[in-house]
Amino acid sequence: MDNQEPLLRMVDIEKSFPGVRALKKVNFTVNYGEVHALVGENGAGKSTLMKCLIGIYKPNGGEICFENKKIENYTTAEALDFGISMIHQELSPVLYRPIMENLWLGREPLNKFGLVDHQKMYEKSLEVLKEIDLQEDPRTLMVNLSVAKMQMVEIAKAISYNAKLIIMDEPSSALTEHEEKKLFEIIHRLKNKGTSIIYISHRLQEIVSICDRVTVFRDGENVGTEEISKLTLDQIIAMMIGRPMTEMYPKVKAELGDVLLDVRHLSHRKFFRNISFQVRAGEVLGISGLVGAGRTQLIETIFGMRPKSEGEIYVRGKKVEINTPQEAIGLGMGFLTEDRRATGVFAVLGVDTNIAIPNYDRFLNSLKLVDQRAVDQGCADFVNKIQIKTPSLKQAIQHLSGGNQQKVLLARWLMTEPDILFLDEPTRGIDVGAKAEIYKLISALANQGKSIIMVSSELPEILGMADRILVMHEGRMTGIIENTAEVTQDLIMHYATGTVDDFADMELMGEVHG
């Protein structure tokens, strides 16, 4: 075989940012036609290495060989020409432009006058969208898509370059089961065509099922590359975090108290209808469903970000009207949102401000002025407690790795000490070690008598953490299940796809009434 030389060889790559040495003499190779997993804790340097490869960063040292040729000092445009494309960890759509312009950005098809050929662009887009099974008009503006659909468009875009090497940096973190399956199909197809893929993910199960080899990063170093078949999951985890993992889901049943949150017949004009549930103190309610089921909108409505069209909300038995998040927070609620960039981080502000924004009230001195020392102390506590990797409290959050940003946001809401905490995809993009920490925190909170409502597309997480599971399908509730040992992923999927529906009768009645 002439495949002695790998497709990609990165040798002694170095990369530093002010205060951070992100990559320390990293070696990394990818063979022809392989799916190569890249795993490691948050901030280990995975994305940084990939950005060096695609030409976003210039490495401070080392060399890169692609297809046996040394490549250096290239731009992203040139990397795309070499045959390397990338799905970026942080979504970056041009929001107010149609899907098709996003897909062909930088290589718009032209007609014979040198003008953009919209018809051709439309047709080519239809083809590409068909390949990923996304039923959307290519002329739809990106801003009107859900996060998951945007991600699918990004995937479509990356594969449409017909690249020899596709980098996928956490492509699945915004996807639900259904799209994820689709993605795996695509990966198989690509692999059969001889395309190589670098696959970065914190969902280690996925890696075992689709990857050929795995490289593990820790603290900016490559700690080993192996055939996936030769390693167990536990071994990979141990390599990642430097020690064996004890227990993933530290769920202890908490003593259930009074009903803290009682939602009755809540409807939204457009997104969901007739949702009723109760959450008790000490309880974790999981909310599951397919993409577009309306889970996010449900929480946003409860939290006062969207107006409800019908229904009532009771907090601690008292009927409340919540019109703004401020009122929700005043009632002891907290909400870790799904879209980190849009509604989570203050990109240019420091880690401290990012944590403290809803919490300054508790750091005022007798003159009603902010006591910065106390703020720093409070923030530092959380940084230590949930192991946020940052050079300092003042570091702008945009320079943290994705996972660490997520931890900062979690710290923000933990600091408000809410009675009712909504978590929308709380562990998206978070490494196993930190995930376990977060689960521990969730459990501890529940034990303190808080109510937790956790939306998640990761079924193991729901099954591992929830006391009860509410499943939604196309804006309707199809079931609320006690999470006993008998509940399986399959069962939940049945509810989520609407093949099982405990409330079908009620829906009919609702229809009659409405």
Partner 1 sequence: MDKKQFNFQNMISKYGIVAVLILMIVGMSIVKPSFRTITNFLNILTQSSIYGILALGMTLVIISKGIDLSVGSILAMSAVVAASLGQTSTATSRLFPNLPELPVIVPILGALAIGTLCGVINGGLIAFTGIPAFIATLGMTTIARGFAYIYTNGKPVSTLIPGFRFIGQGNFLGVPMPVVIYLVMILITWVLLNNTRFGKHVYAVGGNINAAEVSGVNVKKMLLLIYTYMGLLAGISGVVATARMVSAQPGLAVGYELTAIASTTIGGTSHSGGIGTIWGAVVGALVLSVMRNGMTILGIHSYWQQIVEGLVIIVAVILDMRKNARKA
Ligand X SMILES: Nc1ncnc2c1ncn2[C@@H]1O[C@H](COP(=O)(O)OP(=O)(O)OP(=O)(O)O)[C@@H](O)[C@H]1O
**Residues contributing to the site for Mg ion (CB under 5 A):** 47, 89, 296, 338, 402
Least separation in angstroms between residue 452's CB and partner 1 is 18
Q: Whose CA is closest to 44, among 65, 27, 25, 23? A: 23
Question: Which residue number, 354 or 443, has a Cβ lying nearer to partner 1?
Answer: 354
Tell me if 403 contacts ligand X by CB under 6 A.
yes
Q: Which is nearer to ligand X, 85 or 401 (CB)?
A: 401
What is the rounded CA–CA span in Å between residue 344 and residue 329?
Answer: 15
**Hey, which residues does 295 pair with through a beta bridge?**
none
Among 88, 280, 308, 399, binds ligand X (CB under 6 A): 399
Binding of ligand X by 293 (CB under 6 A): yes
User: Residue 356 burial (CB < 10 Å; 0-12/13-18/19+)?
Assistant: buried
The entry of Mg ion, ligand X, partner 1, none that residue 357 binds, CB within 5 to 8 Å by partner kind = partner 1
Of 213 and 399, which CB lies nearer to ligand X in the complex structure? 399
Strand order in the sheet with 221-227: 84-87, 165-169, 196-200, 35-40, 213-218, 221-227
- Min dist CB 305 to ligand X, Å, is 11
The neighbouring-strand residues paired with 116 are: 110
Q: Of 488, 402, 413, nearest to 202 (Cα)?
A: 402
Cβ of residue 214: shortest distance to ligand X, in angstroms? 14
Say if CB 29 and CB 68 are below 8 A apart.
no
Q: Which does 294 bind (CB under 5 to 8 A by kind): Mg ion, partner 1, ligand X, none?
A: ligand X
Question: In terms of CB distance, is 110 or 233 closer to partner 1?
Answer: 110
Q: Kindly identify the residues of this chain, within the stretch 66-125, that bind ligand X according to CB under 6 A.
A: 89
Least Å distance, CB 512 to ligand X, is 25
Please report how close the Cβ of residue 453 comes to ligand X at its closest, in angstroms.
Answer: 13
Sign of CA dihedral 143, 149, 154, 160: negative
- Give the closest residue to 293 by CA, choosing from 91, 497, 469: 497
Non-local (6+) Cβ contacts of 465 within 8 A are 249, 251, 284, 286, 439, 442, 443, 454
Q: Edge-to-edge strands of the sheet including 275-280?
A: 275-280, 259-267, 310-315, 318-320
Q: Does 354 bind ligand X (CB under 6 A)?
A: no
Within 462-491, which residues bind ligand X (CB under 6 A)?
none
CA terminus-to-terminus distance, the chain: 69
If contact means CB under 5 to 8 A according to the sort of partner, which of partner 1, Mg ion, ligand X, none does residue 273 touch? Answer: none
Least distance in angstroms from the C-beta of 249 to partner 1: 28
Q: Looking at 159-167, 292-300, 347-355, 486-494, which segment touches ligand X (CB under 6 A)?
A: 292-300
The per-residue DSSP string of 330-397 comes to HTTEEEE-S-HHHHT--TTSBHHHHHHGGGGGGGB-TTS-B-HHHHHHHHHHHHHHTT---S-TTSBG
Q: Which two tokens stand for residue 250?
A: 């530290």
Minimum CB separation from partner 1 for residue 358, in Å?
4
State the helix-helix crossing angle for 233-241 and 432-447, rounded to 10 degrees. 90
Q: How far is CA 68 from CA 28, 34, 75, 77, 182, in A?
A: 14, 17, 19, 20, 33
Query: Residue 89 or 172: which CB sits closer to ligand X?
Result: 89
Of all residues in the chain, what percent are helix, strand and coil, respectively (each to 5)? 35, 25, 40
Q: List residues binding partner 1 (CB under 8 A).
A: 15, 17-18, 54, 56-58, 75-77, 80, 86, 88, 90, 92-97, 101-102, 105-108, 110, 114-116, 118, 268-271, 303, 305-307, 324-326, 328-330, 335, 337, 342-349, 353, 356-358, 360-361, 364, 368-370, 372, 412
Pick what 389 binds: ligand X, partner 1, Mg ion, none; C-beta below 5 to 8 Å, kind-dependent.
ligand X
Q: Which is nearer to ligand X, 42 or 222 (CB)?
A: 42
Stretch of residues binding ligand X (CB under 6 A), selected from 45-53, 65-73, 251-259, 358-366? 45-53
Closest CA to 155 of 139, 174, 140, 141: 174
Q: Choose between 254 and 383: whose C-beta lies nearer to ligand X.
A: 383
Q: Could you tell me the smallest distance in angstroms from the CB atom of residue 244 to partner 1?
A: 36
Cα–Cα distance for residue pair 198/52, rounded to 1 Å:
14
Rounded to the nearest whole angstrom, what is the least distance from the CB of residue 12 to ligand X in the complex? 17
Q: Which residues contact ligand X by CB under 6 A? A: 17, 20, 22, 40, 42-48, 89, 144, 146-148, 176, 271, 289, 291-297, 338, 389, 399-404, 431, 457
